Structure formats: structure tokens, C-alpha cells
A and B are shown apart, each in its own frame.
Chain A
Amino acid sequence: MTVRPLLEARNLARHFAIRHGNWPRSRKALLRAVDGISLTVMPGRTLGLVGESGCGKSTTGRLLLGLMEPTAGTVRFDGQPLARAGTTEWRAQRQLMQMVYQDPLGALDRRLPVAKQIGEALEIHHPAMPSAEHARRVAEVMEAVGLQAHHGPRYPHELSGGQRQRVVLARALILEPRLLVCDEPISALDVSIQAQVVNLLLDLQERLGLAYVFISHDLRVVRQISHEVAVMYLGRIVEYGEAEALFHAPQHPYTRALLAAIPTVARRQADISLLEGDPPDPVDPPSGCTFRSRCSRAQSLCAQSVPALKPLSDGRHVACHFADSNTAVAAA
């Protein structure tokens, strides 16, 4: 028996028309924030989306939830295409897919008690629900995310950062969605709180069978929480595969550089093959493989043709002309 994918994106792209450069030499340009990516999320599983800031991972998250119209490509949720943002069907789909934000204080209305905000989704989607049941479900979901009853009447600024993120989670969970897109959900939190929230996410997944798209630049957390990982560079996926295999033996030079940048006890400063320089201007990326300007293994072929995302023998996909020889290097 095959399980149907919960979320399926095909050749998703989002381009922005912008003015580029300093006046008077500015000109119209096209920013390819997301440039043809395909993803699959299975029910109850977690897809990690990693990359440097500005690589298009947050835009991808918004496209996956239908919060933004794609320039090209499709997203199907549970086999159904996403409705256009703002329509009635789109609103109905909100019940099944929710967003968790990076900045919980900004995502909450500072003039409403948090219990009211947690229950708001019920008001929107089940306006006829009796108030007793409404209160019961708010209490349930607050308990599930580890909030206590006395937090309910408080205002967002009266809670700690971790508690606020729990409120945001509770608000997202009260409709019993099947998918959460978490956009850097812990990067605004104190390090001590980060682990708590990650554990809560893992716990909720186990109990509720949630699927996550987990967007982060923190590879250690992504490794801890993800089943599959997609690595993004300048709007494209450069490596995509099962999390353990990908972290154990990264194939794309970019993934390797990202992993090498994680400080660990075993690895010394000297071993780190750090990424050189900043990412190129996304409006004006290098020809061919966009990573070649920072790649230590770049050759003339890389400037000429864009490497396709090709499957390797272990089922993982890599967009590099020298993916196979990279394995050899990694093994050596």
C-alpha cells in the first residue's frame, strides 16, 4: 500500500520584478526568489528546508501554504490543488495547514488576551460552536503545548518568549491541522528555550501525526527534527534526500560547506572549509551553476550548463555536475 503525499510541490517558482542598482543607473530586474523547486511531504513526516538567509526558503514556505501566488508551478495538498489566496475554499483549507512564525510577539495581537487569540480560529471556522466546547478545546490545546490555565487571560507582552511561541503553536493547532509550516520557529528564542520548543514539536508530531515543513538555518536542529532535508541555494534545491544520509555524507559542495561551518567538539577550526565570500547577488546570479562562484571544485563546465537535480544510487537528489566524484572525495 502506498501512502498518498500530504503536500506536493511541482516546479514552484516565484519571481519579483524589482528596481535594481543605484539611481540613476537603476534598471528593472527580475529577482528569482524561488526558481523551480519540487518537494514532497508525507503525512506525519518532517521536511527540513535549510539554506543561508535570502536563499528563498521563507518564500517557499509561504508558497507551500498558498499565502502567496506562485509565478509558476503547482502545490497540491492531500491530492487537491491549493485554492487562490483569499477565496472561501482557501479559507477552508486553512484548517488543515498552518504557519508558525519566527517572531511570536509580532505574530500575536498585543491587545488581546492570548486565550482569545488561541480560540480565534474556532470563531472563524466554527462560529456556531457552543461556548462550553470552545472553552474546552482552548484549554485542551493550551495543555497540549504546555501552557497553564492562568496564562490564558494574559497579554502577549506578559509572557516569556518560549510561552509566546507556545501560544502561536496552540493557535495553529486548535483546528487540528495536518501540516505545520514552521518558519524559523526557534531562532528568536533563547538557547535554553529552543530545546524545549523542539522537543514539544517532536512530541506533538508523535501524538497528533502532524507533518512539518521546518525552515531553518540551524542545521543541528534540522538534523534533530527532520526526516527529509532539502538544501536551498539562490532559489533552487541543490541537494534533497533522507536526513541521516544527507548529514552523514553530504554530496553537494554547498551542503558540505554548510555542514563544515557547524562548530563541533571533534572538528577543529583549521579543518573547516568555510564558504568563501557572500552569496552572489540574487538578481544577477552567475551563469550555469549558481554556486560556482564560491565552489572550490568549480570547472569550466559549471559556467556553461546548469546542473540538473539528479538522483543518486541511494535515492537522494543532487544538483552538481560532479556529484559522483564528490562521493569519492567525501569517502577519502
Chain B
Amino acid sequence: MLFFITTRLARAALTIAFVVTFAFVVLRLSGDPAMLILSVDAPPEAIEAFRRSWGLDRPIWEQYAAYAIKALSGDFGNSMRDGRPAIELVLERVPMTLAITLPALLIKLFVGIPAGVFAALHRNSMIDRLTMMVSVAGFTVPSFVLALVLVLIFAVQLGWLPSGGSESWQHAILPIVTLGAAGAAVLARFTRSAMLEVLGQPYIRTASAKGVPWRRVIADHALPNAAIPTVTIIGFMIGSLIAGAVVVESVFAWPGVGRLLVAAVSNRDLAVVQAILLAIALSMVAANLVVDIAYGWLDPRLRRSRGHA
């Protein structure tokens, strides 16, 4: 188990190193960092100071090391727009994003999983067909289309809810529903197929043939086994808590990390983009780590075989 966790940690560190390297390489490939991070019309003294503080006069690997150290301590420089440290800007947006992504996650889990389980247990029933149809819609309808259709119905036609902004809790409802519906559809489909696969296994038939009540078979045997593949996708959803709301935040003018990212990209505010990139990478990696450990807990066999790889 120790070996298992060590390899997972090493992989997590590697991914972070990759993101930092990626940012460094892309930054250097895209032109003079001084020109990019400051602006073209910055005074020469400022550019000179910047070059010195970022060590642009030193050999490339030294620059890389310096960059990596700065990046990992969260220092990406100041935002081009309002001159505040980029990392601060990002961090103050995180709670806003979580305010919609966390409730959405709950919708995904508490609607998606039961729907998938129910559909699998009542295969080919009307409810199964309905679940499948909705879940197909879940990944063919882009989130911005769903969001706009909801706005059209609930804000424009019915006038029940605001169409954008963040002044009250009502403003959060449509973003949460949009995020939750799409994710729940995906999760339902995934849970259903995981469940169907488990239900086809011989040990399920054996257990019910031995006279174990069907409810017990489902609760004790089917659900825990179907949970194993489902954990992966849930892990990705947890990892996307910060990253997953880019489009929806923009539609609803919700001031979270995603909207900040879109603004930073269109303004080419590179300090902010890098800070967000690292924040997202950290959240993805942390979620992956949790998933891996959950895996080991759910399925002791994996601790060994996966540890080998």
C-alpha cells in the first residue's frame, strides 16, 4: 500500500511538473515574455527590471528552474489589467465557482447515479428508455445551448429567474441546473452500463440463486462492484470543480474562475492564465490522487496489480 501511494504521488508530481513545463515552453515559444507579460508600450526601464527579476539574461535551464520555483510558490507576476498579483485574483474567484459547481456536483451524484441504477435494474422499461434519451441529449447538447434554452424559458418567457449576474441566490439556480443536468446525464449513462455489466456477472446470479433476497444482492454485491468504474468519472468531475464551469459562467455572467479565464485569454493577460492553469492542474491532480486511493479501498486487488505498472 505504501508503494502504491508513493507511485501515485510521483505521478501527481510529474503531472504538475508537466503543466509548469508546458506553460514555460509555450510562454517562451510565443515571444518575448517581457513584451507579453508587460505590454508592448511599457517603459524600457520596466522591461529591463522585468528581465532582471525573471532572469531572462541567464541560461535557459536556469530560467526554467527559476520559473518553476516561482510558479510553484504561486508567483506569476501581476495581472496586466489591474496590477494585482494574479494568484490573488484567481483565489478570490474560487469560492464563487465552487458556489455553483459544488451544488451541481450534488445534483450529478444524487440524480445521475440513482437514475442510472434504476434504469439498469428496470432495463428496457419506459424509465430506462427515457433516461437513455435524456442522457444522449446530455452529451450532444452543448452546455451553452442548454443554458440559453433555460434562459429563454425561465428568464425570458416565464420571468421566474434572472438571466445573469450574481446578486442573489436566485442567480445561482440556472447555472447550477445547467451544470448539474449535463453531468447527471453523463453519469447516469455511465452508471447504467457499469451496473448492467455487473448484473451480468455469474456471482450475482449465484447469489440470487442461493436465495439471497434481491435487495440484498443489489446492495451487497452489485452496487459496490459497479461503483469501481464509476469512481473514475466522479473523480474527473471533482477535479473539474474549478475548470468545468468556463462556458456556463460566461453565459450567466457569473464571476468565477472560468469567466476570469475567458477574460484573461481574450485580453492575453498571461499572468492570470498561468495562475489559473496551475490551480486547475492542482485540483485535477488532487482529485486523481483521491480517486486512486478510493480505488485501492474499493478494490484491494488493484493495490497490487496497479502498483506494479
Contacts and interface: CB of A to CB of B under 8 A. Distances in A.
Interface in B1-16: 3
A236 B3 CA distance: 38
A22 B308 CA distance: 10
A24 B3 CA distance: 8
B50 to A, nearest CB: 51
A106 to B, nearest CB: 26
B296 to A, nearest CB: 13
Contacts of B304: 22-23
B1 to A, nearest CB: 9
Interface string A1-41: 00000000000000000010011100000000000000000
B244 interface: no
Contacts of B307: 23
Contacts of A24: 3
A19 B3 CA distance: 16
Nearest to A19: B308
Interface string B181-215: 00000000000000000000000000000000000
Contacts of B308: 19, 23
The dominant DSSP class at the B interface is helix
B6 to A, nearest CB: 12
Interface in B153-183: none
A23 B305 CA distance: 9
B107 to A, nearest CB: 41
A25 to B, nearest CB: 11
A23 B308 CA distance: 8
Interface in B87-145: none
Nearest to B2: A24
A289 B142 CA distance: 71
B258 to A, nearest CB: 42
Nearest to A24: B3
Contacts of B3: 23-24
B198 to A, nearest CB: 27
A23 to B, nearest CB: 5
A24 B5 CA distance: 13
A22 B304 CA distance: 9
Contacts of A22: 304
Nearest to B304: A23
B53 to A, nearest CB: 48
Nearest to B308: A23
Contacts of A19: 308
Interface string B267-309: 0000000000000000000000000000000000000100110
A188 B179 CA distance: 56
A19 B304 CA distance: 14
A24 B7 CA distance: 14
B131 to A, nearest CB: 39
Contacts of A23: 3, 304, 307-308
A19 B307 CA distance: 13
Most buried by B among A19, A22, A23: A23
A23 B304 CA distance: 7
A278 B307 CA distance: 30
Nearest to B1: A24
A37 to B, nearest CB: 32
A23 B2 CA distance: 12
Interface string B1-39: 001000000000000000000000000000000000000
A18 to B, nearest CB: 12
A301 B17 CA distance: 59
A24 B304 CA distance: 8
A22 B3 CA distance: 13
A268 B308 CA distance: 49
Nearest to A22: B304
A241 B3 CA distance: 52
A24 B308 CA distance: 9
B7 to A, nearest CB: 11
A160 to B, nearest CB: 34
Please name the 4 residue pairs, one residue from A and one from B, whose CB atoms are nearest each other, closest first: A23-B304, A23-B308, A23-B307, A24-B3
Interface of B: 3, 304, 307-308
7 contacts: A19-B308, A22-B304, A23-B3, A23-B304, A23-B307, A23-B308, A24-B3
